[in-house]
Structures are given as C-alpha cells and as structure tokens.
Amino acid sequence: MADVGIIGAGSWGTALAKLLHKNGHKVTVWSIVAEEIAMLKKEHEHKEKLPGVKLPEDMVFTTSLGEAVKGKDTLVLAVPSPYTRSTSHMMKEYVADGQIIVDVAKGIEEKTLFTLSQIIEEEIPQARVAVLSGPSHAEEVGREIPTTIVVGAKEKETAEYLQNLFMNEVFRVYISPDVLGIELGAALKNVVALAAGIADGLGYGDNTKAALITRGITEISRLGTAMGGRAETFSGLTGIGDLIVTCASMHSRNRRAGILIGKGYTMEAAMQEVKMVVEGVYSAKAAMALAEKYKVQLPIIEQVNAVLFDGKPADEAVKDLMLRDKKLENSELPW
C-alpha cells in the first residue's frame, strides 16, 4: 500500500483519488478552497464536478498542503494548468528529495512556453517528476469505465512504479520515456478540440470533424517532432487517441466551449458558461509562439487563435482554412 497525496480536488483529481483508493492505497485529497473540502467531507461526493461518484468514507480531505504532501510516497498534481506554477511554488517547502510528483493536467505556460513538468522541475528541483495522460475523461474513470493511458518519466523505474500504482482491471497503464511528446500532444489537442467544437456550433458535420482530427494531428506532430518529441507518441494514446476523444465527447470542456463560440459566444462568455478551466484557451497562444520559434505552420491552431483573441468570425476562419494554397497530403511520399 502506498500513501498518496492528491493536490487538487477537481473532477480529475477526485476520479484518480477514487481509483487509487480502490487499488488499496491510502489517499489524502487537498484543495485550497475550504468550501470544496467541507463539501467532500460531508457528502463524500463532488456534487458539482463529479456528481454520482461516491468516495470512500476513510478518504482524507484537507486544506492543509503540508498534510497532503509531507511523507507521501507519491503526489498527484491535479490542479488546472494555469495554477501549476503557483501550486508547485507553495508545495516546494514540503517536498522531500526524490519524492515523486506525477502531473495529470495538460497545458503550456504562455509566458515561458514551458510544459507543466518543466514548470514543476523549475519550482521543485528536488522532486522526481512524471506525467500521466491519455484519452481519459474523469466522468468515465470515476464510473470505472475501461480506460487506457500513458505514464511518462525520465527514469524507467519511476514509470514502472507509477504503472503499478495506477493500473487495475479498468485502468490500463502504458509507460514511455517521451515526456515531452506526451505533454505536447496533451496540450495541443485541446486547441484542436476547440476547433472541432466551433465546427459543431456552426452546424457542420462528420466530414468536417474527421478533417479537423486528421489534419489536427498532423499539426501536433509537426510541432512536436520539431521540438524533440517522438513521432510514435503522436500516433499513440496521448496523440491521436486523446485528440479523438476530446474532439468527439461532450465530456470535453474544450469541445463544449468551442460549440458555444461557434454559436456566437465570445471566448469569455463560453468559458463562463462551461464553468471549468478550458485548457485549450490557455495553450492556444503558446502554441503559436512555439510555431514561430520552431518555424512550423499550424493553420488550424492559427485560425483558432484568430477566433479566440482577434474577434474573427468562426465561419470566416473555416473558409480561410478551406481556401488555403493547394497542398500535397504528405510531402514525404514520392510521386
């Protein structure tokens, strides 16, 4: 049995807390929001973010970061990506040398263009940092629907340890050394999912969705490999797998926000309606900055930025994508 601290009591942190408890581990869940912890202690259910998923009576809930971090075998960092740096900074004083932190959020920091694991390593250099990602909606993991994900870590022993920690009959865990590729696929697919939602909001159909998914993974792979990620990662669970589920499911906050934008909502109004952090909005500008830095073209992500931040009408963005210069589908294939 491991002693695990869950840092962040949103839907994903709550679902993983339930899973790890089911696997026989001792689980402590932390939130900075006192009302959230009070509700979890009383109801043993996150009524707002994961309704219907009952949590065990012996699970510990706390607003004390020290209690959630100190002495734990593993820490699961499950706060939304905009809060990764501030939360890591608060955690630093409690984290022991070599303590494992597995980040389960998805995003790129706009100011530094750091992935989330890079932020954690900068703020908590004494930790061993890993990531967990893949096509995995919290709503389904909480209900024990079969799910498959990937753990990425620099050290194989860390990845194998986490594989054993999380894996059970409904949650299959693969491992990979390509931490960068995993994180880039996870962050960038949220931006493409916004595009897929916008297309749905405009009333477009399956043809459009398939085009966005297919050309979207091409853009993700193009940037990801230019940055040093492995092509194999983008054709796997944290690339095309995560992109498919995020573009297709109404569990996806990015797709839901995109639908509202396609119907005429502003970005701010859409985020307010969804009532959860829409990670793709925070990663979209960073993606374009990375595209400029690495000199790659991201036409779908470029048009998403124009709609989100420049007030471009969504139907015009689609028209501009369709009328781009004629291209080969794959320039690597000989004629």
Q: Phi/psi at 326 (nearest 5 deg)?
A: -60, 140
SS3 content of the chain, % helix, strand, coil (to 5): 55, 15, 35
Task: Respond yes or no: is residue 154 known to be catalytic.
Answer: no
| 92 CB burial (10 A radius; 0-12, 13-18, 19+) | middle
3-state DSSP call for residue 292? Answer: helix
- Using CA atoms, how far apart are residues 246 and 278, in angstroms rounded to an integer? 12
* Cβ atoms < 10 Å from Cβ of 176: 21
β-bridge mates for residue 103, sequence order: 77, 131
Q: Contact 54/60 with Cβ under 8 angstroms?
A: no
Q: Contact 162/131 with Cβ under 8 angstroms?
A: no
Which of these is catalytic: 18, 49, 189, 209? 189
- Using CA atoms, how far apart are residues 62 and 105, in angstroms rounded to an integer? 20
Side by side, the strands of the sheet bearing 26-30 are 60-62, 26-30, 3-7, 74-77, 100-103, 128-133, 147-153, 171-176
Q: Closest Cα partner for 131 from 66, 187, 191? A: 187
- Using CA atoms, how far apart are residues 136 and 176, in angstroms rounded to an integer? 17
- Using CA atoms, how far apart are residues 245 and 39, in angstroms rounded to an integer? 30
| 198 CB burial (10 A radius; 0-12, 13-18, 19+) | buried
Q: Contact 135/245 with Cβ under 8 angstroms?
A: yes
The catalytic site residues sit at 189
